[in-house]
């Protein structure tokens, strides 16, 4: 559930980040692209920011 006061970090490929930045994104949402092509590893996500909970969603 999204709440505008809770910070959200989206980690995606650089191509995915470009597509997301073309849309309207709320101020609490940070999008970060990592240099991987199709699949992101847990290590790639954790390298962006230390975290306790990771929600993983896959899709086209």
pLDDT tens string 6-60: 788 888 888 889 999 999 998 889 999 887 666 777 778 888 887 777 777 776 6
Count of beta carbons in the 10 Å neighbourhood of residue 11: 22
Asked if residue 5 has pLDDT above 70, the reply is yes
Interstrand relation of 29-34 and 8-13 (parallel, antiparallel or unpaired): parallel
Q: Which residue has the higher pLDDT, 21 or 1?
A: 21
What angle (nearest 5°) sits at the alpha carbon of residue 46, between those of residues 24 and 58? 55
- Give the pLDDT score at 39: 74
- Give the pLDDT score at 31: 93
Region for 17 from its dihedrals, namely left if φ exceeds 0, alpha if ψ lies in -120 to 50, beta otherwise: alpha
Specify the pTM: 0.72
């Amino acid at each position: 559930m999204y709440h505008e006061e809770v910070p959200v970090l989206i980690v995606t490929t650089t191509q995915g980040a470009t597509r997301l930045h073309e849309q309207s994104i709320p101020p609490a949402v940070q999008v970060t692209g990592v240099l991987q092509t199709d699949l992101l590893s847990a290590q790639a996500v954790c390298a962006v920011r230390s975290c306790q909970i990771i929600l993983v969603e896959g899709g086209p």
